[in-house]
Each structure stands twice: as structure tokens, then as C-alpha cells.
Chain A
Amino acid sequence: MIFVSDLFFSYDGEKELFGGLSFSLDSPGTLAFLGPSGCGKSTLMGLLLGELSPKKGRVVCSPAPVPLFQEDRLFPHLSLRKNLLLPLHDIDPKIAEKRVLEALDRVGLLSEADKKASDCSGGMKRRASLARALAFLPESGGILLLDEPFAGVDDGNKQKILSYLNGLQKKHTICLITHDHQDAAFLNAKNIYLGGR
């Protein structure tokens, strides 16, 4: 469940963002946050993750969201497989391995599982980060926060991932931060425009 009510936020001395934004989603589906650069899309992600506190209003996300950050945030010295396995330390290793390989397959990186993250291209790292989020997501009822998930991803893989997300949103809540209206339309998302529009 995501519940945001009367949201105001500002960084020290800067202009206020969101102007009392309110929205909620209590069943699986997709919310798309759209708007120009600097309108606060990534700030909203920080608020949903609890990394930032609103100046005014309420933000409730339950269960804790699984984020895909704008930066890849992979351990460069580890293989993609090992990067994905790290968060799954508290489940059976065989099941964890299966989930990791499935997630890598969904983003078209199964053949690159043992490649070091530092040796991967920007697009591959992006897809690997997405795979990590997918592997970490619970079986159902999770919240997936995706900040510009397709930056640097080629069209073929993007379509494949979008199709997978389309199925995933039947069991999970997806928050998609994007510039691309077509991605939001593909997922039949509830659009939320930021930046006063």
C-alpha cells in the first residue's frame, strides 16, 4: 500500500516541491511519476524510501519498497551473479541461486552472470540492477520503485522487460519514475504529473 497525503518538501533554502501532492494505491498496479528534469521525481523516490522526511504531509509505504536507483550501485569487483546473491543471504542458497538466474534471464543477462560488474557496459549494469530488484522482490504484494529503469537500455531488452513488468504488476505495486509517457501507457499506469502540471 502506498499512501501520500498533502506532501510538501524543500531542500534547505530552496523552493518548495510537490505543492500538497496526494495519491494512494492499495492494490497491485503501476503508478507513473512524470515530469521535466528538476521537478522532484528522484526526491519523491527518497521520500517513498524514507531517506528524506517531508516538510509537511504523510508518506506511508508498506511493505518497505525495493528500489532501483538512478545510479547502478553494484559492487564493481563482484560478478553480476554475486551482486544479486548478496541481498538473498537469508534464504536457502539453492533457491537464491535459482531466483538470481531467473532474474538475470528476464533482463537478458543470463549468459553474462559471471562477468564482473566493472567489466559491464552502462546498459548491462542498468539491467543487472533491475534484475537485483526483481530477485529481491517478495513472491507477491511487494512495492517496486523504479527510477528511470530504461536509461541506457536498448530497445529490444526494454520491450522484453516492459512485458515482464506488465505481468508483474498483477501481483505487485510498481512506481515508475520516467520521462517516457509511452512506458507509462504500456503499463496502463496511473499517471502522476509533477512540476505543477
Chain B
Amino acid sequence: MVFQKPVWKKFVLFVCSLAFWLLFWHLAAVITNIPILLPTPVSVAKTLFSLLPDGSFWLTVFSSLLRVTAGFFLGLFLGAILALAVSFIPLLESFFSVPISCLKTAPVASFIILVNLWLQTEQVTVLISFLMVLPLAYRSLLEALRARDEQMLIMAKHYRLTRLQIFLHLSLPSMRAALKSVCSVGMGFAWKAGVAAEVIVLVPHSLGEQLYDAKVFLETEQLFAWTIVVILVSLLLEKGLALLFRKEGGR
């Protein structure tokens, strides 16, 4: 039997850990005493709260979020389609292996610069998020399809189940389990790469543009505040997806 810590204990531990690192940050800022390099958490918090009532803050957050999630879901969708295609026609795996390997191994910065030559700046974020998620979704879902119960496939053959029945009752349940990890890891990938693309190509009304401006104008407090926004949005997305899958699993 596995004993789990009660929720309140986890929460207390989290708060203590957060308090420790905030204190560490504060002391480091006080000791160095160069706000342009390391502002205190209090001044960063003040900057962050000053951003919240501004409509353009929310516009920035939601437009970045929209572009990244669009790329994420496109990558997930196409990854699933490719994985299914390969599971039906195994020869296709060799055909897809070259571009998928390139996407997995090439530095994301190269893609961002290259894609910027071809597309409008807003579209770069979508495409980069898409390219980050596509190989991950493809590989994970293909492995899940290959891990389908061989004995059930033999049964399906002898009871002459249709391809659609096999897909609905054998392939989809296998893919659903893999989808959880793809979403959790892939959303993080898409978000980080998407914001990096926004910084490099300077997408208007984006988190990346705000980070870049803060750096150029040496507004370190703003830089920290926007970074915290990026982290919070990423955490919210991750928790939201986890909650979605928990609800799905509970059905």
C-alpha cells in the first residue's frame, strides 16, 4: 500500500519552500544592492500588481496563450493522424523518420529564424509551438498504438471486428493513456518555445515582446514580472490539463 501525504501537508510544505526561496532571493537582492541586476521580490511584486489593471496586459497574455495553444493542438492533432497512419501502413514510418528526427534534434532557435523568413511574425509562434509538439505527439502516440494488446488484436481478427471497432475500442483507449503525458510535457515545450519565438521575432502584443522591451530598456523589475507571468500561465495550463484528465479518468 502506498501512503500519500495529506493535501494540507503538501500545501504547507509548498508554502514553506516558496517562503524560503523568496527570502533567499530577497537577501541576495539586498546584499548585492544593484536593483538593475537583481531587484527585490517586493519591488517585482509591486510591478506585477501594477500591470494587472491594464487591459493591454490581459490582451498580451491571451494573445500569446491563443497562439501557443493553437500550435499545441495542431501539433497534437497532426501527430495523432501521423501515428495512426503509420500504425495502418508501417512503411510510412521510414518516410516520416527524416523530418521527425530533424524536428527532434535541430535547435529551436534555427527553426524560429528560418520560419521568420517565410511567415508573418504572429504565425511564427503558432508554427514553432506546433513543431515542438508534433514529434513528441507522433512518437508517444505511435508507441501507445504499438503497445496495443496483441491478444486482443488476435481476438478482433477471429471475431472479424471492423477497423473502426478496433480503433474505437482498442486504439483510442491506448492513445488516451499516452495523451496525458503528451499534453503535460508538450504544453510545457510549446509554451517555452512559443515565448522564445516571440522574443526572437518580436511578435506584437506578446509576452515575448514585453520580455524583450524590458531587457532593452533595462527594466529588470518588468523583466522579472513578465517572467513570473510566463511561469504562472505555464503552471495554470499544466494544472488545468491535469484536472481535465483527472475528470476524464474518473468517468
Contacts and interface: CB of A to CB of B under 8 A. Distances in A.
Contacts of B169: 75, 77-78, 86
Interface string A127-165: 000001000100000000000000000000000000000
A66 B157 CA distance: 11
B165 A73 contact: no
Interface in B150-208: 151-152, 154-155, 158-162, 165, 169-170, 173
A185 B233 CA distance: 71
A87 B173 contact: no
Contacts of A66: 158-159
A73 B173 contact: no
A2 interface: no
A178 to B, nearest CB: 20
A64 B161 contact: no
A67 B152 CA distance: 12
A49 interface: yes
A94 interface: no
Contacts of B173: 77
Nearest to B154: A51
B236 to A, nearest CB: 31
B188 to A, nearest CB: 30
Contacts of B162: 89
A81 to B, nearest CB: 14
Contact of A86 (B154, B158, B159): B159
A90 B151 CA distance: 23
Contact residues of B: prevailing secondary structure: helix
A90 B152 CA distance: 20
A142 B160 CA distance: 15
Nearest to B158: A67
Contacts of A89: 161-162, 165
Contacts of A64: 158
A132 B159 contact: yes
A90 to B, nearest CB: 8
Contact of B152 (A73, A87, A132, A136): A73
Contact of B161 (A51, A69, A71, A87): A87
Contacts of A71: 151
A66 B155 CA distance: 10
B165 A86 contact: yes
A87 B159 contact: yes
Contacts of A51: 154
Contacts of B158: 49, 64-67
Interface centre among B158, B160, B161, B170 (most CB of A within 10 A): B158
A69 B151 contact: yes
Contacts of A49: 158
Nearest to A90: B160
B165 A69 contact: no
Interface in A51-109: 51, 64-67, 69, 71, 73, 75, 77-78, 86-87, 89-90
Given A77-B173, A89-B165, A136 B151 contact: no
A136 B159 contact: yes
B154 to A, nearest CB: 6
Interface string A172-184: 0000000000000
By Cβ-Cβ distance, the 4 closest A-B pairs, closest first, are: A87-B159, A73-B155, A75-B169, A67-B158
Given A66-B158, A66-B159, A86-B161, 20 more contacts: A51-B154, A64-B158, A65-B158, A67-B155, A69-B151, A69-B154, A69-B155, A73-B151, A73-B152, A73-B155, A75-B152, A77-B169, A77-B173, A78-B169, A86-B159, A86-B169, A89-B165, A90-B160, A132-B159, A136-B159
21 contacts: A49-B158, A51-B154, A64-B158, A66-B158, A67-B155, A67-B158, A69-B151, A69-B154, A69-B155, A73-B151, A73-B152, A73-B155, A75-B152, A75-B170, A78-B169, A86-B161, A87-B159, A89-B161, A89-B162, A90-B160, A132-B159
Interface of B: 151-152, 154-155, 158-162, 165, 169-170, 173
